[in-house]
Structure 1
Amino acid sequence: MADYLIKSTDKRTFTLLAGAAVLGELKYTEWFSFKAILALTDGTSFRIEPRGFWGTTIEVKDEAQTVHLSFKMNWDGNIVLKSRLGGTNRAVVLKNRGLQGGYVLLDKEGQELLTIQPDFKWNKANHDYAVVSSEQFDTYAAKEALVLTAIHCANYYMTMASTIITTTII
């Protein structure tokens, strides 16, 4: 099991830390955009961008346009991630934990891989995240990229939820 901290330095930049070691960064290209760059400290980088007319599917691509991961919000509010990171095809689901708060990333058997707890910083008006991985998740290839993608999904989820709340109130 590993503990990670995601520090938000501004509204668009999220840094993945394990202890004091920086493992990678998720940086949104524009404010209120789902487009982002995911950069790992080993020099690997990916582009995250919406696909299609409505942009409801998000893809994680490398410089050669190879899709390594995609995700889409399901009708039940869960986000389904399909990954080819590390050369292995996997499907995982990010679920909102409801009243317990936070999010959980589950494998296809329903085993917890990650728990993600947002920590809203009122003085910065943005979120940091505490992430705890399971022993099973620790065996995954490219796990740092998957953690940062899960954070992108959590941000996506919060954006979609706030959009629904705002349009309902108005």
Structure 2
Amino acid sequence: MTVSAYQAKSTNSLSFDLTKDGKLIGKLSYKSWFKFNAVIEITNNPNYKFEPKGFWGTTIELKEGEKVLLKFKMNWNGEIIIQTYFNNLEKDYIFKHRGIFKESFILIDQEGNELLVMKPNLKWNNMNYEYQLTSSDIFENFSNKEILLMSSLHCANYYISLMMSYQ
């Protein structure tokens, strides 16, 4: 099994650059730190917007214009359930936190395959996060892998901000 490595670095407290081998793949930008609205810019693609839905804003939708491509929400046991609607096909994924000392997030498909591992690293000098992302062969063959990479980054930030708010 070969793996691909990506890096996500916070350029300031409101945006992240995702790169592979030093080449920019995309950018995730938040309007404010306390909201889950965000914009994804992927090289050579239209922009996509994350918008909270519902009274409590617990479901987050990713839209291209008015079309919903993906949505996610945290379930009762702290896992984030992601539903994608690419090419009018619905697929479900689980994004979850793993470990305490060797902390990471993982993205799993419906068959239980580990698609993506994200290791967060807090840069104490500027209080910004960086992530090391490692993907599987299965993930690398996805036609919408860039959107899923950027969405996983948003899920990790969402999870961390929710856990910080409970403390």
Q: TM-score range by the shorter chain?
A: over 0.9
1:80-111 deviation digits (Å, cap 9, x = unpaired)? 00012355321100010032311000001211
Runs of 4+ with >3 A deviation = none
Instruction: Tell me, yes or no, if the aligned pair for 1:86 and 1:141 is still in contact at 8 Å.
Output: no
Deviation at 1:27, TM superposition (A): 0.2
What's the counterpart of residue 93 of structure 2?
92
CA distance in 2, matches of 1:67, 1:117: 28
Structure 1 residue 158 corresponds to structure 2 residue 160: yes
Aligned with 2:18 (options 2, 16, 19): 16
Residues 1-170 of structure 1 correspond to what in structure 2 (within 5 A)?
1-63=3-65, 65-99=66-100, 100-165=102-167
AA aligned opposite 1:38: I
Q: TM-score, normalization: structure 1?
A: 0.93
AA aligned opposite 1:32: F
- Find the residue that maps to 1:30 and give its secondary structure: coil
- Find the residue that maps to 2:156 and give its secondary structure: helix
AA aligned opposite 1:4: Y
- Find the residue that maps to 1:110 and give its secondary structure: coil
Matched length: 164
CA distance in 1, matches of 2:38, 2:15: 9
Q: TM-score, normalization: structure 2?
A: 0.94
AA aligned opposite 1:141: S
1:5-59 deviation digits (Å, cap 9, x = unpaired)? 0011011101110111101110001222100001101132110010011000000
The structure with the greater share of residues assigned to helix is: 1
Unaligned runs of 5+ in 1: 166-170
AA aligned opposite 1:125: M
- Find the residue that maps to 2:51 and give its secondary structure: strand
AA aligned opposite 1:2: S
Unaligned runs of 5+ in 2: none
Q: Compared with structure 1, are the counterparts of its residues 17 and 87 closer, same or farther at alpha carbon in structure 2 (3 Å cutoff)?
A: farther
CA distance in 1, matches of 2:57, 2:76: 15
Q: Compared with structure 1, are the counterparts of its residues 53 and 148 closer, same or farther at alpha carbon in structure 2 (3 Å cutoff)?
A: same
Superposed CA RMSD in Å reads 1.1
Identity level (%): 38
1:112-168 deviation digits (Å, cap 9, x = unpaired)? 000000011011101010000000101111111111100100100001111111xxx
